[in-house]
């Protein structure tokens, strides 16, 4: 093999290797994991996607936080109008149109489990749109 | 009047222009690194899309693998590349890149005393057709509802195609995968017969009398045609992958790359086969099935297409039962119902034209007149994909994995379709363009196939079939 070709092969192999390795590194070094992202201020940002197609539901449907920890919830409707309600905390985003998001910063004071629902009758799969936030002792 | 004839003559000259006569274009394609240079960025992009499919968000419109492949790439391929540039996608396609480089033992240069690597076997003569591509495309179509919405399925299919292409090219010679197996290549080849570009020789006699045939066997600067084609007898675009190896090889500068009018190759008799005829019906029927399933108002049909669908109530058709009905619709309509209907019209044509040709022969010949309408039906199907969902492409450009990144500040551009009320009219206009070219191509065929006084009568069943298909599509779009 020509030397230039060997160098080209090596560069392409490195780039092809770097793409999944870099993505996995980003995913697992704490910047992002299971829908959780640390923003520039170090605030834990949790993206919650709602959609009804197929099995539907919230992604993630189970969120774990620590009591006293400030978190930023970003709730996005992916396919049609949804809303997110946490009755025990008096949180209700109202209608979130598809493609839009609702952002709320909240601090969970008491440990426990808080169930959240879709607050808009979105489809026959509406009843599946449930999840829970598990608040661990701080 | 002078200006009208001036415009006509300008377009006449333009439409027969040899693009390889433009020095910069010729220098570009003559360079050994040309194909490598256009494949590598594409390979890196597709590798990135595969990565995103595997580890990014499972939500389709939040993952670049879905938005780039099934919105941007698909639209660009079917509405721009294929009709205007033929098999130009095959020039830059990254799927066979690794296989070809390993097979050649080189990425760019033609090594001295070169011999192909791998087993270098001949492709089985019995499989020297596009039936495997037809079946492969139908298999993908069978679970397209998952393929175009679930990133991981898209990633598995793309990675699988790269793996299969690499293995096949290490076992068989040249681009056996692209020519006989690639499910995308099958329909690109068929539709590129309609396209406004062609690679042909300037002087066929020169080729005939030239013994060395470097365009096939290769030369110091070329590997020769990897598509099993002989440029000297090339009369259709179907299997020319526009790799330009023949241009690099030809010692007489006898290859041209012409602009031309649409649909020219469809009236060429040589090379036509039932495998390609069925490809037409597969594509025609699938265009209808997809428009009904993915864009129609019938949610229950959409649910049938989803093998994992579990209906909320017990009475609906669920999971595998409903999916089997969908499979029956896909395979039955493409392989039996639509070709069967067309065969009945061919019997009518034979009866009306009193031709000696068999109904099967007419079936095969006139199936090609449906190519323009079929291509336009696919373009019409693809219009709303881009016009409605463009924002998702822009969003995922900034946040390719759906992880909350905002690389270019476009993550939060809201979903807002562009003039959605115009879409049905655009779709109908595109279908009418297809009808025009189908009728034009069919008329040429009828004049060639039938006696003059019977040509119109013999042609009339195919006209009716074309109009019925067009009315069906227009009803789907406007109804």
Nearest-Cα residue of chain B relative to residue A100: B414
Same domain, A78 and A123: yes
| Per-residue model confidence as pLDDT tens digits over B268-310 | 988 899 999 999 999 999 999 999 998 888 878 887 887 776 6
Contact assessment for residue B446 and residue B434, using Cβ atoms and an 8 Å cutoff: no
| Per-residue model confidence as pLDDT tens digits over B85-133 | 999 999 999 999 999 999 999 999 998 889 999 999 999 999 999 999 9
How far off is chain B from A28, nearest CA to CA, in Å? 11
Q: Do B55 and A27 touch (CB under 8 A)?
A: yes
Same domain, A13 and A63: no
Q: Give the DSSP letter of residue A96.
A: B
Host H or E run for residue A19: helix A3-28
pLDDT at B320 over 90: no
Q: Do A124 and B106 touch (CB under 8 A)?
A: no
Same domain, A17 and A47: no
- Average pLDDT, stretch B355-369? 97
- Average pLDDT, stretch B444-453? 94
Rounded CA separation B320/B154 (Å): 21
Same domain, A116 and A132: yes
Enumerate the residues of chain A whose CB falls inside 8 A of the CB of residue B101: 9
Burial class of B185 by CB neighbour count within 10 A (0 to 12, 13 to 18, 19+): buried
- Give the tokens for residue B149: 């919405």
Check residue B58 and give its pLDDT.
78
- Average pLDDT, stretch B204-221? 95
Rounded CA separation B459/B452 (Å): 11
Same domain, A20 and A76: no
- Average pLDDT, stretch B66-84? 97
Q: Do A1 and B52 touch (CB under 8 A)?
A: no
Nearest to B403 among A2, A15, A37 (CB): A37
- Average pLDDT, stretch A119-136? 87
**Total domain count, chain A:** 2
Same domain, A6 and A40: no
Q: Look at A94-103, B207-216, B369-378 and tell me which has the smallest mean pLDDT.
A: A94-103
How far off is chain A from B352, nearest CA to CA, in Å? 51
Q: Give the DSSP letter of residue A42.
A: -
pLDDT at B311 over 70: no
All structural domains of chain B with their residue ranges: 11-192+197-259, 271-478
| Per-residue model confidence as pLDDT tens digits over A31-57 | 554 556 666 677 788 888 888 766 678
Same domain, A49 and A111: yes
> A66 is in which domain, residue-wise?
34-136
Same domain, A6 and A38: no
Q: What mean pLDDT value characterizes chain B? A: 93
Report the percent of chain B where pLDDT is more than 70: 97
Rounded CA separation A91/A86 (Å): 5
Check residue A49 and give its pLDDT.
84
Check residue B316 and give its pLDDT.
55
Check residue A125 and give its pLDDT.
78
How far off is chain A from B389, nearest CA to CA, in Å? 10
**Which CATH number fits the domain that encloses residue A123?**
2.60.40.420
Q: Look at B74-88, B187-201, B293-307, B430-444 and tell me which has the smallest mean pLDDT.
A: B293-307
Same domain, A20 and A54: no
| Per-residue model confidence as pLDDT tens digits over B128-184 | 999 999 999 999 999 898 899 889 999 999 999 999 999 999 999 999 999 999 999
Same domain, A90 and A55: yes
pLDDT at A76 over 60: yes
Q: Do B404 and A45 touch (CB under 8 A)?
A: yes
Same domain, A78 and A122: yes
Nearest-Cα residue of chain A relative to residue B412: A100
Same domain, A81 and A14: no
- Average pLDDT, stretch A79-104? 87
């Amino acid at each position: 093999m020509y030397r230039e070709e060997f160098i080209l092969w090596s560069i392409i192999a490195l780039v092809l290797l770097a793409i999944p390795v870099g993505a996995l590194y980003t995913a697992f070094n704490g910047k992002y994991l299971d829908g959780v992202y640390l923003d520039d201020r170090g605030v834990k940002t949790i993206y919650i996607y709602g959609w009804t197609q197929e099995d539907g539901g919230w992604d993630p449907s189970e969120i774990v936080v620590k009591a006293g920890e400030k978190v930023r919830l970003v709730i996005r409707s992916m396919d049609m109008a949804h809303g997110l309600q946490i009755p025990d905390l008096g949180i209700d985003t109202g209608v979130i149109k598809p493609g839009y998001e609702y952002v709320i910063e909240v601090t969970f004071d008491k440990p426990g489990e808080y169930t959240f629902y879709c607050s808009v009758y979105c489809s026959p799969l509406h009843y599946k749109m449930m999840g829970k936030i598990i608040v661990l002792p701080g | 009047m002078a200006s009208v004839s001036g415009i006509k003559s300008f377009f006449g000259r333009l439409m027969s222009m040899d693009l390889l006569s433009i020095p910069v274009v010729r220098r570009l394609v003559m360079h050994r690194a040309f194909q490598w240079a256009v494949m590598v960025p594409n390979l890196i992009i597709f590798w990135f899309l595969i990565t995103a499919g595997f580890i990014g968000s499972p939500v389709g419109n939040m993952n670049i693998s879905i938005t780039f492949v099934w919105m941007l790439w698909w639209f660009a391929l079917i509405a721009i590349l294929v009709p205007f540039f033929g098999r130009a996608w095959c020039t830059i396609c990254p799927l066979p890149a690794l296989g070809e480089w390993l097979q050649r033992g080189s990425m760019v240069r033609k090594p001295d005393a070169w011999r192909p690597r791998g087993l270098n076997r001949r492709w089985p003569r019995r499989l020297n057709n596009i039936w495997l591509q037809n079946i492969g495309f139908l298999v993908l179509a069978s679970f397209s509802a998952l393929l175009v919405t679930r990133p991981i399925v898209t990633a598995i299919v793309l990675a699988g195609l790269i793996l299969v292409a690499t293995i096949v090219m290490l076992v068989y010679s040249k681009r056996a995968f692209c020519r006989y197996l690639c499910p995308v290549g099958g329909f690109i080849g068929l539709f590129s017969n309609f396209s406004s570009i062609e690679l042909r020789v300037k002087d066929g006699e020169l080729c005939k009398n030239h013994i060395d045939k470097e365009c096939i066997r290769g030369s110091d600067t070329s590997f020769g045609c990897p598509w099993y084609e002989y440029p000297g007898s090339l009369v259709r675009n179907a299997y020319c992958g526009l790799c330009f190896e023949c241009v690099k090889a030809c010692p007489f500068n006898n290859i041209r790359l012409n602009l031309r009018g649409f649909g020219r190759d469809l009236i060429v008799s040589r090379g036509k086969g039932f495998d390609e005829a069925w490809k037409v019906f597969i594509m025609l029927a699938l265009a209808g099935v997809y428009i009904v399933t993915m864009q129609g108002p019938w949610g229950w049909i959409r649910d049938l297409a989803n093998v994992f669908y579990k209906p909320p109530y017990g009475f609906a058709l669920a999971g595998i039962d409903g999916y089997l009905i969908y499979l029956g619709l896909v395979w039955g309509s493409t392989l039996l119902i639509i070709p069967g209907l067309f065969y009945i019209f061919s019997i009518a044509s034979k009866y009306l034209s009193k031709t000696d040709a068999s109904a099967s022969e007419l079936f095969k010949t006139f199936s090609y007149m449906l190519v323009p309408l079929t291509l336009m039906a696919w373009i019409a199907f693809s219009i709303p994909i881009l016009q409605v969902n463009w924002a998702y492409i822009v969003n995922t450009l900034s946040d390719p994995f759906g992880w909350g990144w905002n690389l270019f500040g476009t993550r939060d551009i809201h979903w807002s379709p562009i003039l959605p009320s115009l879409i049905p009219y655009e779709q109908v206009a595109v279908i009418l363009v297809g009808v025009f070219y189908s009728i034009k191509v069919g008329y040429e065929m009828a004049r060639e196939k039938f006696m003059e006084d019977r040509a119109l009568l013999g042609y009339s069943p195919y006209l009716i079939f074309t109009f019925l298909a067009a009315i069906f599509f227009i009803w789907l779009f406007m109804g």
